[in-house]
Amino acid sequence: MTIRMDPEIKDKFTELCEEFGMSANTAINVFARTVVRSGSIPFTISINPVSSVDTEKIIEKFAGKWGGKETE
């Protein structure tokens, strides 16, 4: 299999994999095995991800409307 990847991403990915003690090739194989074993991608894919900070603000806002302390 051959994949194309942005050179900056490839360099950062390779560097991070080395910090984990594995090659980029091994990491890709781990990913592929996980997908096959679980029958799904092992992370959420979305068009509009909401950060955890945004999520906390949304929860605080709604909690205020339902009897908790409302925050700005």
CA separation, residue 52 to residues 2, 29, 40, 41 (Å): 35, 29, 23, 21
Query: Which of 9-13, 14-18, 56-60, 64-68 shows the lowest mean pLDDT across its residues?
Result: 64-68
Boundaries of every domain in the chain: 7-65
pTM comes to 0.59
pLDDT by residue (tens digit) across 22-38?
Answer: 999 999 999 999 999 99
> What is the pLDDT, as a whole number, of residue 67?
57
> What is the pLDDT, as a whole number, of residue 70?
47
pLDDT by residue (tens digit) across 1-21?
Answer: 898 999 999 999 999 999 999
Task: Give Cβ neighbours of residue 58 (< 8 Å, ≥ 6 apart).
Answer: 50
